Amino acid sequence: MNPPTRPSIAICPGSYDPITHGHLDVITRASEIFDDVIVAVVNLSTRKNKPLFGIEERMAFIADATRELPNVRAEPFDVLVVDYARRHGASTIVKGLRAISDFEYEFEMNQLNRHQAPDIDTLYLMASPKYSFISSSGVKELATFGGDVEEYVSATVARRLKEELAR
């Protein structure tokens, strides 16, 4: 008889301001690999400007986008991602990569995370080609100037972007 195995838990951290179809692609693929996926929504970023959408609204966007994925849930976090992963019994951080510039940043973060927590791995999923150019900041910029963003985000997010950013 084989010993029982622990469920595999992964963390998909990010600001998700807002969630895009590219984010959803990575989250969906992670949900096919891991038993449980926690979309960890950063509530205190040192890297970027103040988010356009508050934490509750970003989490609602994610809940709506992932409603068909029963093993996915969103939670806010404001600690080191490796500490958050440990608290939830996660052994893996999942990140999407779109371009070389993503790799450079993520490589640096991976080295810092591995130094802090050698027991937690990072899995990089390459962006699907049709999403490789989508970023939240790019979508927000497009929406600011009246561009159609419904190809890149849900209809709900597109409507809210229009309300918040229309010039």
Q: Please say whether the structural domain 9-132 has been given the CATH code 3.30.160.60.
A: no
Compute φ and ψ for 73, nearest 5 degrees: -145, 155
Return the structure tokens found at 64: 């709506």
Q: What is the pLDDT of residue 102?
A: 84
Q: What is the pLDDT of residue 101?
A: 77
Q: With contact defined as beta carbons under 8 Å apart, do 153 and 139 qualify?
A: yes
The listed range with the strongest mean pLDDT (62-66, 129-133, 147-151) is 62-66
Q: Which residues contact 122 (CB under 8 A, 6 or more apart)?
A: 92, 93, 94, 95, 106, 110, 113, 114
Q: Residue 152, Cα to own-chain centre: how many angstroms?
A: 15
Among residues 107, 95, 101, 102, which one has the least CA distance to residue 40?
Answer: 95
- Between CA 113 and CA 129 the distance in angstroms is 28
What pTM did the predictor assign?
A: 0.92
Q: What is the pLDDT of residues 6-62, one digit of tens each?
A: 679 999 999 999 999 999 999 999 999 999 999 999 987 665 578 999 999 999 999
Q: What is the pLDDT of residue 59?
A: 96
Give yes or no for residue 167 having a pLDDT over 80.
no
Alpha helices in 3-153, H assignment, sequence order: 21-33, 55-65, 81-87, 100-116, 136-144
pLDDT at 104: 86
% of residues, the chain, pLDDT over 70: 93
